[in-house]
Structure 1
Amino acid sequence: MDFSKKLFSLFICIMAVYIIYQDITQESPHSRKELDEKHSDMISTTMFHVVPVKVQANDTVLSIVEQINPYSQNELNVKRILNDFKLSNPNTDPFSLTPGKIYYFPKYSETLLYNG
């Protein structure tokens, strides 16, 4: 009986080591998806020009982007615009702009807005 307990304990230890090894060496599906999303965001955000604009009171990122991209007012991709704004203005909250300060806003070609 003592031998079977030792054998069972050894089996449990081997299984635990195997499971830990698998967890460490294999990439989870969630982490791969997150990496793909981050990579696609990096690719999409590099395909625009920036325009410096002095912000007035009550201006928002979206209102200014609509002004400098007039051909696309019905097709704006809000998530992409905010990501591009953050890339162009590091450490700036796109939801609290300071009037009188100059920020860089994305200016897109027509085809880039529809694909993001």
Structure 2
Amino acid sequence: MQRVEALSRALRQAEQEAEALSIQKDAFAAEARALRDELERRKKAAEQAAAAEGKPLPTQKPKARPSKPPEPITAFFCLICGEGSNGAKPHRCLVEEEEQRKKVAMGRK
């Protein structure tokens, strides 16, 4: 019975924390929108001021591709047994190895 009460309290606490995090997320999103709007307003004002002076603002060209290709992923995580590997060869759990042995044995017959 005490275990059930402890789990109920933990559940209520988790729900309260989730609600608090949701409120924080909404506040952060509103702040991000306000900052983005302010940036756009300042950008338009700078463009208008530059146009009034007859000097267009320089535009930045986006990079076609990154200067260095991304590193290949070499870490693996087995969804069956939960074991991970950090090598170049992916981890094969015992279940997968057993299935492979069965396939090889069936192929030999």
Where on the TM-score scale, by shorter chain, does this alignment land: which range? 0.3 to 0.5
Bigger radius of gyration among the two: 2
Q: TM-score, normalised by structure 2?
A: 0.38
Q: Looking at both structures, which has the greater relative contact order when contacts are Cα pairs under 8 Å and sequence separation is at least 6? A: 1
The TM-score, its normalising length taken from structure 1, stands at 0.36
Q: Which protein has the bigger strand share? A: 1
